[in-house]
Structures are given as structure tokens and as C-alpha cells.
């Protein structure tokens, strides 16, 4: 909750989500799915990439088994996170 003494007053955080543009909302949704469901490829399935979703699941299972797999899995995870953050920042004003 936002303190009533803050600059935006009594505006609730969930209300601020309604003020975002469609592109920003989509990017936040994809970031959330990436953060929560990356091991099972939720972000890929959400984007409509079924093949990529299954490959993400296989990649995660490979990462669980080997240390090299973990390094291979972590690099795309971090790069996609930064790509989505840049996309959010670059949304049109």
C-alpha cells in the first residue's frame, strides 16, 4: 500500500496499472510469466510459441541435471529479462 502522505496521495498501486498503455501491460505480463514460470516455459506459451515452450521445459530439465546446462539456461533467461525491460522503457509516451 502507498502511504497516504506520499506525493500521489491515496492512489492504490493496482489503480496505477490501469494507467499503463497496452504495450506496457503486455511487457509486464511477459516479465511476470518469465519470472514465475520460466522453468515450465509459461512466457513462451503465452507468446504463442508452443515449440519454444516445450524446448524451454527440456532445457530446464537439462539444466537441473548438469552444471553446464544451468549456465546454458541462465544466459537466455537473463537476456530475455533485459530485452523485456528495455521494451518497457522504450514504450511510446
Q: How many CA atoms lie within 13 A of 59 on its CB side?
A: 19
| Cα–Cα distance, 26 to 22 (Å, whole number) | 6
Q: What is the pLDDT of residues 25-75, one digit of tens each?
A: 777 778 887 777 777 788 788 888 889 888 888 888 888 888 887 877 788
What pLDDT does residue 5 have?
52
Residue 77 three-state SS: helix
Is 23 a residue whose pLDDT tops 60? yes
What pLDDT does residue 18 have?
59
Q: Residues 3-29: what's their mean pLDDT?
A: 62
Amino acid at each position: 500500500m502507498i502511504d497516504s502522505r506520499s506525493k500521489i496521495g491515496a492512489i492504490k498501486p493496482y489503480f496505477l496499472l490501469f494507467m499503463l498503455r497496452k504495450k506496457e501491460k503486455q511487457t509486464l505480463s511477459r516479465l511476470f510469466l518469465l519470472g514465475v514460470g520460466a522453468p515450465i516455459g509459461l512466457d513462451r506459451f503465452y507468446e504463442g510459441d508452443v515449440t519454444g515452450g516445450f524446448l524451454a521445459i527440456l532445457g530446464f530439465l537439462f539444466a537441473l541435471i548438469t552444471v553446464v546446462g544451468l549456465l546454458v539456461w541462465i544466459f537466455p533467461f537473463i537476456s530475455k529479462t533485459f530485452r523485456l525491460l528495455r521494451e518497457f522503457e522504450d514504450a511510446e509516451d
